[in-house]
Structure 1
Amino acid sequence: MIKMNLRSQSTILMFLLLFTSIAHATPVVPFTKMADGIIIYPAQQYPGSAHAVRLQVINNSIIRVTASPAKEMPQVQSLVTIYPTTQTSGFTITNTANEVRLATPFITAVASLQTGAVAFFDKAGKQIIAERAAAKQLLPVTFEGQRSYNIIQTFETKPGDAIYGLGQHQDDVYNYMGQQVTMFQNNTEVAIPFLVSPNNYGILWDNYSITKAGDVREYLPLSSLQLFAKTGEEGWLTASYANDKTKSDDVVLTRAETTIDMEFVNDSKLKLPAEFKTENGSVTWQGSIASSFSGNHKMRFTYGGYLKVWLNNKLVLDRWRRAWNPAPALLDVAMQKGQKQSIKIEWIPEGSESYISLKWQEPVPTADANTFSFSSEAGKHMDYYFVYGKNIDEVISGYRTLTGKAPIVPKWAMGFWQSRERYKTQEELLNVVAEFRKRKIPLDNIVLDWFYWKENDWGSQEFDAARFPSPDSMIKVLHNQYNTKLMISVWPKFYEGIPAYNDFNKRGWLYKRNIADRQKDWVGPGYTSTFYDAFNPEARKAFWNLIHSKIYTKGIDAWWMDASEPDLLSNVSPQRRKEQMTPVSAGLVAEYVNAYPLQNAKGIYEGQRSVDNNKRVFLLTRSGFAGSQRYAAAIWSGDIGARWHDMKAQIAAGVNFSMSGLPYWTMDIGGFVVENRYERPTATDTEEWRELNTRWFQFGAFTPLFRVHGQYPFREVFNIAPEDHPAYKSMVYYNRLRYRLLPYIYSLAGASYHNNYTMMRGLVMDFAADKKVHSIGDQYMFGPSLLINPVYEYKERRKQLYLPAGSGWYDLYSGKYFAGGQSINVDAPYETMPVFVKEGSIIPFGPELQYTSEKRADTITLFVYTGRDASFNLYEDEDVNYNYEKGQYSNISFTYNEKTKQLTIGERKGSFNGMLTNRTFRVIWVNKNAAKPLDFEQAAATTVRYNGSAVKVTQSNR
């Protein structure tokens, strides 16, 4: 026991009274109320913690969370969000000594007054997700001599949760829970920092810097594993270099290596031995690996050329990618602590610039199994939006509330596009279109790829008169004679010294590092070039004025905005990309690097609408960002490879991209870069090439935009196979079926604008209650009715697929009925891809067309797939202008009541110029016990003459 005398007690008492007096005089305020929410000042502080956390109510389903490294919130204007900042009401604020609750009628955010950590609850009081306590980090860093912050936030979620969206990536991963997604704009990689969950929430992370999402732990170099040489020595793998790839045992050099790290441009030139000849050589790494951890180890390869990997003498990876365009590959490796696994890695590069790297990641710690994080390199503050809904559609609708609606694409864009790299002359392009019309293969758009200018004139936007002597006349012929649109490639790139370069340069609108580096491109002898600064509003206007005066006035219909990452130099490291873009007019390049494609699209969208507001803008761009959809930007998946695996990877890539909130996505059907064996094929190679293109074409017919493109061999149907070949027949069949489906597809486009709908849908969007679909990424819904099952294995003639529970299913072609909730093995003959129709569907099929504007959809055949109540809304407008924004459109509702067996064709709502006031609907019933094939010539059960008034039709046969 400690004894104190009276004097000591009196001193302590006086101190306590003084402290209490001071505390009452200057009270600590834990939070303050605002018109739209609260600001919290966390009591606990640690290095990198937030000094202020703000919660704002955007609407009843969206709460914004920002965190600042200071007491004040930085005033930063978002490039992503455009929602009106009106005063919000209808929420309540309550607090205890430890927390404050911000509640709307649908969601509640609870923030700790000690740490500032926020948790989100539904209206029943169940936790949805929560920030991990003390996991909010704003760590000071310096870029360009200025203060910025590394920003990290970890969330805890429920066991079994899943994560989708986050843009478009080539890892062939559907559910990103437990995975790492790097958001850095690159050819084939598109960064969209928005995710959704089957638990009906989404997070929009408003940051444009290089960001990791999911499992953000660093990938480690190969040397971090325990390595053993081919001969058993510990500490390295045995690397063998052969200069003849056909004789891997003809080794010119063997050496010990602990890393495989040639991921970026010029790495291989610096790190490969001088004795090795990449043009015809091969490298093999052999030995064993071991780990002190048990569990799943993720290996991530980046490769150009041929890559094969064996584990324990079993081939587990076999990939190829053209060397200039490297690709990623993920490999899950189950390892037991201390147990060796033999490994063999064989790499055959192509050319002097080649890529190969291997990194790995430790097993996920048990404590982190149900977490995901965002980690951004730079920002002034943390800023994200929590979005909640009854389903994923409502969550995506919330994303578009924040970032803008997706304008309806012109109807012709939903038809078939023909493209190749590239049509070299005006005559060549017109001859291809003429051949389509001669063969009666439907076509709406022909694409003119890069290099229509003179060799040394990139960025001039001038046609080379020797090859395109009369572009104005060419476009008129396309429009007037062939009823075909022309899309043209426009790069944000300028060759040094041309007039446009000089004009932009004197105004300070160009990135100059590439010029200082004397970096040459790949054209002819190579030319020094750079890109314009799309963050500068005056530069954006000038770029639009350039392409307007040189190209748009000739009658161009749409823009292909290539290399919009910006790809000043391909395959550079993130650090070099930032150096190439420094300085950027918006601020620190580290803070803005990923937003370039958003601003580039903004300039052209706003520019065209300023001069021609009666013609829909349509942009196809190789990269995008959150908000790109409001600028009429569709995204394609870049210069992908032409292998079966590459085709499969596009399914998850396209579905996740669509679930990122941007509805219009496409890909190079057939793949862009092609193995040499297809350029100089044997008979066997030719047949595989034809089958690959056929299967890819079948898949592509059921994506938002239907587009063929690639390097040689030429991609026109008639150049792939002769008329009597099943490849030709199948591709023409699916092309024509696409045009028959236009009333259905265009209605989905209308719903994407008016109702924030998503056309290409992960199964989890419509069948979230069926846990099996949470990890099925090689099937998807196209609209509400069609289950698409691409065939992506060579010579596969039977397809194993899953029919989601909660509905029955009809085979599209035969009308045969199948129960849901089961895996089935179905026929997949060369000519057809399995497609199923959800029980309780109404699908409108239009007439056969050669191009979308050939005639209005009269007559429409309604296939009614009975067994459950069904509905569909037929949307129509003027197809090419913006009058729909003014309310000039129509809707005709179709509803089927299973109990009464009655179809109601509802009263037409709305009108527009050129609308069909009278039309014909043919009704064909498809029943469980009365299958009907997809035959448009078959007799209808009922034919309805419709004048806009409601009509009821009763099913007469069962």
Structure 2
Amino acid sequence: MKKFNLTLLLIVCLAVLGHAQAYQKTDLGIKSIVDSTAIEIQVYSPTTIRIVKSLKEVPFTKESLSVIKEPQKTAFSVKQDGDLIIVKTAKIDVSLNKQNGKVSFFSKKAGNLLSEESSAVFTDFNDVGNKTYSVSQTFKLNQDEDIYGLGQHQHGKMSQRNTKFNMVQSNKDDYVPFFVSTKGYGLFWDNYSPTLFEDTPEATLFKSEVGDCVDYYFMFGESMDGSIACMRDLTGQAPMFPLWTYGFWQSKERYKSQNEVVGVVKKYRELGVPLDGIIQDWQYWDSNYLWNAMEFLSPQYRDPKRMIENIHNMNAHIIVSIWSSFGSKTKQFQEMEPKGMLLDFGTWPLSGIDVWPPRRDYLSGAKAYDPFNPEARDIYWKYLNKGLFSLGIDGWWMDSTEPDHMNPKPTDFDNKTYLGSLRKVRNAYPLMTVGGVYENQRKASSDKRVFILTRSAFAGQQRYGANTWTGDINSTWDALRRQIPAGLNFTLSAIPHWNSDIGGFFANAYNNTDGDGTATKNPSYQELYVRWMQFGAFCPMMRSHGTQISREIYHFGEKGEPVYDAIVKAIELRYSLLPYIYSTSWEVTNKQGSFMRALAMDFDDKKVRNMNNEYMFGTSILVAPIVNAQYTSEKAVKSNEYSGWEKTNSEDDRKTLPAVDFTQPKSTKVYLPAGTAWFNFWTGEKIDGGQEITTETKIDMIPLYVKQGSIIPFGPQVQFATEKNWESLLIRVYPGANGEFTLYEDENDNYNYEKGAYSTITFKWNDKSKTLTISDRKGSFSGMLNNRKFKVELAGKDSTYKDVEYKGKATSVKLNSQTR
């Protein structure tokens, strides 16, 4: 009997000892080993958990390129319940199953949020002589769950369920391995190599070609907005853009002289059409052998400093095209090549001669540089600063930041970068090259906010003052339709600034003869361009651009003609909304907000979950762009970033086109989300949500609806963003629910706001008492208005208004049907 008791005691002791050694508690969470896999759960905050899995006894170091947050000291507890080791924070529970190594995430309110479907998989991989692994992890999503984000794609879908991507950055697809769920969480897969993402009803997979470990972050923001906020907290906040970047921008491929560039701005000023910026595209450096020399070397730009001064004297701004590659005769190439800072694979431009198709017998020798090398980033900035920034250039159009990878070979990814093979870091290329310019300019000056327009992006790029555009897309209705979900999913990837080429990039198919530019008189293209312009007015950047057609407004007609007037109306609408847009920009910076908002972010309405043709702009305005031809027939154009340069049209394209009457009214269907009522922006009509309606449209009208309870400020009519101060603003209240809006103002173009140099005025609407309360102004800055007038208007078919004198102190105004 004693022997039995002793044996039993030994078994119990061993069992207890086994449990005691099941995990090791650390300052950040726990470490444990399941079979051959070392698993670490790290608590970054009450809402953010990092999971790291690696093969035990295989040492490695991992320094994230995207994540800049250090784990904050967070209270958490650990307990073991059978096979489960549970880490608890104030917001979420994380369990590790000791039998199979699976990790699951829970919340008290929502229950199970996400679970791994299987344990991590490590497959031996030889990465140019470096023994490493291909890594993968599967997750189990709920059947009725929708996910969004994962970057920018041209597939036209809103929800990313049942999709498959081979994530390698390209001209028109920018991959960000982060998604948000309708269940209120986000997931970031922290890997930079080519990665397969695949979602099926059975499992959701991330599989990366190279990785020493599985490394991902789970964020429970309790909503999509909250999870985006967690991602920005993890990877960096979005700085303020200058006010002038939110005006209208004119561009084309390409202006060929400084006289032409200055002449375009001058013509806009003569016409009285608002304009804030013009963009100089490529080849101002002259020869392709001097590609991206970052100097005005072309004889057509004899005095670039004077050109810039002339533009500034007309109260406009200029940004110029710079690239990630350098021609073989540039100073940059000559300095970087001996130091091993250039990558050897096919990139733009292939030919040293500016012809299409490229002459392969006269190769340019251009090579992309290695932005992972800090010295290379400094050399890049040295020449950019000397050749362009010192002249007064206002911003950077960073083209080909993915970068262009032409005629790919299997060995291209074997290129050695500062951080290992190109294969290992491929997708983070845009993050590093854009980040190098931002960080160096911030060191050089705080007087001018960094503004970058770029073609590619990766997780964390929002911290670098960059606005991403969708690349070289076709000028078709189908391409326009695809831009809406592309921009929304990009926003849901936690990067708020986005735009597309208004009118599409490749438009030659609309010319009546070979590349003669007559597409601007072609009704088919005119209609497409107007509708794209109206959509562009409700994007974070409003920019007209493309090849084979001059996009300036005066090529589309003249004042009094329907197409011309419709373009002007869209631009002027954009400018009237600048106080709303700039205040939304502050929400993006200060409260992790978003400009373009998928309807699922704001409405608990299953009908909007996969809606890809409507969105909110800010929190108040529902935008339903016209994305189907109403006056002409749709033209299908099939081309890509290589074939699109072909300038020969078919015989069908050369036919005389019939006249079109753009004055006739049309109609379209719009779905108004449930849970609120809506006001027709143009008529003031109030309509209940939760229904699809048919609304009248005209060529100069984009369907817009404003949510009840909204407060929107409207600015004065101007020719450029800062022409007039906001001394007299229209404040329009949309009744039916309580509402609040904060008007933000600062010095418009420096970083003094980071030191507190800004002011806010909060407007609160009490719907029951029909009273608008204007708060005390908070904060101050140089040039701030101390006194001003507000024209407060109650929206509706029979709008009412009252003038209010405001001197920075709280005041209230009561509005009713008798108010005038």
CA displacement at 1:16 relative to structure 2? 12
Q: Give matches, 1:380-459, under 5 Å.
A: 380-455=212-287, 456-459=289-292
Change (3 A) 1:841 1:519: closer
Give the match for residue 131 of structure 1: 116
Question: In the TM superposition, what are the counterparts of 1:278-677 in structure 2 within 5 Å?
Answer: 368-369=200-201, 371-455=203-287, 456-480=289-313, 482-514=314-346, 520=351, 523-524=354-355, 525=359, 526=362, 527-567=364-404, 569-570=405-406, 572=408, 575=410, 577-579=412-414, 582-677=415-510
Offset at residue 678 of structure 1 (A): 2.5
Counterpart secondary structure, 2:511: helix
The reply on whether 1:152 has 2:153 as its aligned counterpart is no
Q: Deviation at 1:148?
A: 2.1
Aligned partner (choices 552, 555, 571) of residue 716 of structure 1: 552
Structure 1 pair 701–571 and aligned structure 2 pair: CA distance change class (3 A): farther
Q: Distance in 2 between matches of 1:659 and 1:26?
A: 44
Partners of 1:664 and 1:25 lie apart in 2 by 54
What residue number does 1:775 align with? 610
Distance in 2 of aligned mates of 1:518 and 1:544: 21
* In structure 1, C-alpha distance between the alignment counterparts of 2:330 and 2:109, rounded to whole Å: 65
Match of 2:649 in 1: none
Matched to 2:135, the amino acid is: I
- Determine the structure 2 residue equivalent to 1:340: none
Name the CA shift for 1:27/1:849 in 2 (closer, same or farther; >3 Å).
Answer: closer
Bigger shift: 98-107 or 524-533?
Answer: 524-533
Tell whether 2:730 aligns with 1:895.
no
Alpha-carbon separation, structure 2, partners of 1:700 and 1:519 = 33
Measured after TM superposition, the shift of residue 25 of structure 1 is 9.2
In 1, the alpha carbon distance for the partners of 2:345 and 2:729 equals 58
Of 29, 32, 54 in structure 1, the residue corresponding to residue 21 of structure 2 is 29
Using the TM superposition, give the Cα deviation of residue 955 of structure 1 relative to its aligned residue in structure 2, in angstroms: 1.3
Distance (Å, rounded) in 2 between the aligned partners of 1:432 and 1:112: 66
Displacement of 1:500 in angstroms is 2.5
CA distance in 1, matches of 2:535, 2:468: 17
Q: Normalized against structure 1, the TM-score is what?
A: 0.78
The answer to whether the 8 Å contact 1:159/1:370 transfers is no
Letter in 2 for 1:130: S
- Which residue is equivalent to 2:657? none
2:146 aligned residue: 162
Structure 2 partner of 1:74? 60
**1:885 lines up with 2:754 in the alignment:** yes
Residue 611 of structure 1: how far off its partner (Å)? 1.1
1:218-272 CA distances to partner (integer Å, 9 max, x unpaired)? xxxxxxxxxxxxxxxxxxxxxxxxxxxxxxxxxxxxxxxxxxxxxxxxxxxxxxx
Which whole-Å CA distance do the structure 2 matches of 1:382 and 1:25 have between them? 29
**Residue number among 176, 179, 184 corresponding to 1:200 in the alignment:** 184
Alignment RMSD: 2.5
1:576/1:426 CA distance change after superposition, 3 Å: farther
Q: Is the 8 A contact 1:679 1:713 kept in 2?
A: no
Q: 2:91 aligned to 106, 125, 134, which one?
A: 106
Q: Percent same amino acid among aligned pairs?
A: 38
Match of 1:140 in 2: 124
- CA deviations 1:789-844 (Å, max 9, x no partner) are 01111126321121000110010011011110001111122121111101111000
1:879–1:571 Cα change, 3 Å: farther
Q: 2:660 corresponds to which residue?
A: none
Report the equivalent of 2:661.
Answer: none
Write the letter of the residue equivalent to 1:501.
Answer: F
Q: Does the C-alpha gap of structure 1 residues 957 and 185 become closer, same or farther in structure 2, counting only changes over 3 Å?
A: same
Of residues 523, 545, 561, the one that matches 1:687 is 523
Between the aligned partners of 1:912 and 1:919, the Cα distance in structure 2 is 16
1:16 to 1:887, Cα distance in 2 relative to 1, 3 A: same
Distance 1:429 1:73, change over 3 A: same
- Tell me how far 1:576 sits from its aligned partner: 5.7
1:736-775 superposed matches below 5 A: 736-767=572-603, 769-775=604-610
CA distance in 1, matches of 2:412, 2:668: 43
**How many residues are paired up?**
772
Q: Evaluate the alpha carbon distance shift between residue 157 and residue 620 of structure 1 in structure 2; reply closer, same or farther with a 3 A threshold.
A: same
SS at 2:416 equivalent: coil
C-alpha separation between the residues in 1 aligned to 2:177 and 2:407?
A: 22
Separation (CA, whole Å) in 2 of partners of 1:89 and 1:687: 62
Residues 503, 529 of structure 2: 8 Å contact kept: yes
CA contact (8 A) 1:578 1:590 kept: yes
How many Å separate the matches in 1 of 2:206 and 2:242?
Answer: 36
Q: Which amino acid is 1:840 matched to?
A: G
Q: Secondary structure at the match of 1:941?
A: strand
**Corresponding residue for residue 790 of structure 1:** 625
Alignment match of 1:62 (pick from 36, 40, 48): 48
Q: Give distance in 1, aligned partners of 2:487 and 2:331.
A: 40
User: Are positions 1:842 and 2:711 aligned together?
Assistant: yes
Q: Any conservation in 2 of the 1:559–1:619 contact (CA below 8 Å)?
A: yes
Is the Cα contact below 8 Å between 2:512 and 2:518 reproduced in 1? no
Distance in 2 between residues matched to 1:60 and 1:508, nearest whole Å: 44
The equivalent residue for 2:540 is 704
Query: Equivalents in 2 of 1:73, 1:20: separation in Å?
Result: 35
Inter-partner Cα distance in structure 2 for 1:821 and 1:16: 67
Cα separation, 2, equivalents of 1:817 and 1:479: 44
Distance, in Å, in 2 between the alignment partners of 1:148 and 1:203 is 24
In structure 2, how many angstroms separate the alpha carbons of the residues matched to 1:518 and 1:779?
38
Amino acid at match of 1:877: D
What's the TM-score once normalised by structure 2's chain length?
0.90
Separation in 1 of the partners of 2:138 and 2:439?
37
Cα-to-partner distance string for 1:99-135 (whole Å, 9 max, x where unaligned): 111111111111101122111111236111111133x
Instruction: Tell me: CA distance 1:27–1:386, structure 2 relative to 1, closer, same or farther (3 Å).
Output: closer
In 2: Cα distance, 1:837 partner to 1:623 partner: 32
Cα distance between partner residues in 2 of 1:190 and 1:200: 24
Q: Distance in 1 between matches of 2:591 and 2:407?
A: 39
Distance of 1:604 and 1:860 partners within structure 2: 37
8 Å contact kept, 1:62–1:388: yes
- Distance in 1, matches of 2:557 and 2:615, equals 29
Rate the CA distance shift 1:903–1:548 in 2: closer, same or farther, 3 A. same
Larger Rg: 1
Using the TM superposition, give the Cα deviation of residue 406 of structure 1 relative to its aligned residue in structure 2, in angstroms.
0.5
Residue 955 (structure 1) aligned to one of 787, 806, 815:
815
- Provide the secondary structure at the position in 1 that maps to 2:230: helix
Following superposition, the deviation at residue 956 of structure 1 comes to 2.6
Q: Superposed, which structure 2 residues align to 1:788-867 within 5 Å?
A: 788-795=623-630, 797-867=666-736
- Tell whether 2:101 aligns with 1:116: yes
Q: 1:384 to 1:729 in 2, by over 3 A?
A: same
CA deviation profile, 1:594-642 (whole Å, cap 9, x unmatched): 1111110111011111111221001111001001111111100001100
Match of 1:727 in 2: 563
Give, in whole Å, the separation in 2 of the partners of 1:888 and 1:398: 26
The Cα shift of 1:71 comes to: 4.4
Q: Distance in 2 between matches of 1:427 and 1:194?
A: 45
Equivalent-residue separation in structure 2 for 1:521 and 1:17 (angstroms): 83
